[in-house]
Amino acid sequence: MKAIGYKQPGPITANDALIEFETTAPELGPHDLLVAVKGISVNPVDVKVRAAFPAEHGTKIIGYDAAGIVKAVGSAVTLFKVGDEVFYAGDITRSGTNAELHAVDERIVGKKPESLNFAEAAGLPLTSITAWELLFDSLALKEGEGEGESILIIGGAGGVGSILIQLAKKLTKLTVIATASRQDTVEWVKKMGADHVIDHRASLVDQVKALGLQPRYVASLNGTEGHFPAIVELIKPRGHIALIDDPKVFDIKTIKPKALSFSWEFMFARSMFKTEDIDKQHALLNRVSELIDSGALISTVTNNLGKLSVATLKNAHEQQESGRVIGKNVLEGF
């Protein structure tokens, strides 16, 4: 099968940053599906891994989001059959989706939304899982029980922010304050359903206080290191902070006086450690699929960059590294 990967980590500008090659189809474990990949998307994790993680065995195939058709199933598979259309975000410990065929545990796979094509569907899984787990696992919210409270989402126009705004509005009834700094990102965040949009390049404290709101929840999706003092000042006592980025330095002790809770969301944790509730990702992806098909949620895809090739994937990585991607970029399969 055809695949795209890398031999040495490094900058995307290198001539061999990504290479196309032929390799054998993956072998299936008992719970695995063999998926013919018809669409993929690129996330920050793709570029982080390509830039810094060694290729342990020859050439490393990355790529996490995918949508496609089940071609074969493992001996213990019960949730899907050959011919089913699926979407998923994969497992960071396994070979990736930038390939013609991909093996994935059925318990982290959902039924593809019927109303989306494969490339559009591939733009949803990783960000949807991250946003869902952040709301309902990390922040411990329950559906319909957020009315009267607010959430501050820092980084509202990115892939996770785009779906998180929608889930918070549709499922929890929270008042959503989201950050964006450019005219195009402000308009996008409004389209996703944010009640209030503020500029993360200006004082968060002044802007949120001017709204007359004190959020009980904060989802910090990027820039946490610089925004942490403002977050602690703004949040309600006994509130909860959740983040997904990797701040180098911040003083966790500052959250003690307000008795704040703090957590990291990492959507690969369930698949990495084969947790007893790994199938929660199957269930939540099916729910997201239903919400998309009913019109309760809308696609967060903004660009289809064409068929998967070294050139188009390199373009997707370059755009992701620019920090200016709105929503999600997707590609069609080989």
247 and 328 fall within a common domain: no
Distance CA(44)–CA(138), nearest Å, equals 20
Q: Which of 211, 233, 264 is the last residue of a domain?
A: 264
**Cβ(174)–Cβ(152) under 8 Å?**
no
Q: Which two tokens stand for residue 122?
A: 């591939």
Residues in CB range of 187: below 8 A, 6 or more apart: none
What CATH number does the domain containing 13 carry? 3.90.180.10
Estimate the share of the chain in helix, then strand, then coil, as percent rounded to the nearest 5.
Answer: 35, 25, 45
Crossing angle between the packed helical segments 44-52 and 310-322, to the nearest 10 degrees: 100
Instruction: Record the tokens describing residue 19, joined without a space.
Output: 């290479």
Within this chain, do residues 222 and 111 fall inside the same structural domain, yes or no?
A: no
Domains in the chain, number: 2
Residue with tokens 């309902």: 136
159 shares its domain with 106: no
Is 44 inside any structural domain? yes
Residue 297 lies in a domain: yes
Same domain, residue pair 237 and 283: no
Do 102 and 189 lie in one domain? The reply is no
CA distance 99 to 108: 19
CB 234 within 8 A of CB 250: no
Q: Phi/psi class of residue 58: alpha, beta or left (left: φ > 0; alpha: ψ in -120 to 50)?
A: left
Place of tokens 């929270």: 174
Is residue 304, in this structure, part of any structural domain at all? yes
Tokens representing 315? 């373009």
DSSP 183-194: HHHHHHHHHHT-
Its pTM stands at 0.97
Measured CA to CA, the distance from residue 294 to residue 56 in angstroms comes to 43
Domain boundary among 211, 234, 264: 264
In this structure, are 131 and 260 located in the same domain?
A: yes
Tokens of 50: 């390509």
My answer on whether 136 and 245 are in the same domain is yes
- Domain endpoint, select from 225, 241, 264: 264
Instruction: CATH number of the domain at 187, please.
Output: 3.40.50.720
Domain residues for the domain of 316 are 2-124+277-332
272 in a domain, yes or no? Answer: no
Q: What is the pLDDT of residues 155-170, one digit of tens each?
A: 999 999 999 999 999 9
In a domain, 285, yes or no: yes
Work out the mean pLDDT of the chain and round it to a whole number.
Answer: 97
Give domain status of residue 303, yes or no. yes
Going by C-alpha positions, the residue among 110, 88, 106 that lies closest to residue 97 is 88
pLDDT along the chain (334 residues), means of 10: 97 96 97 98 97 92 98 98 98 97 98 98 98 98 96 97 98 97 97 98 98 98 96 98 94 96 98 98 98 98 98 98 96 98
Q: Smallest Cα–Cα separation from 330: which of 120, 50, 188, 92?
A: 120
Q: Are residues 48 and 88 in the same domain?
A: yes
pLDDT of residue 249: 85
Q: In the chain, where do the E strands start and end?
A: 2-6, 19-22, 32-41, 60-61, 66-73, 85-88, 101-105, 109-111, 150-154, 175-179, 196-198, 217-220, 240-243, 261-264, 301-307, 328-332
SS3 235: coil
115 & 163 share domain: no
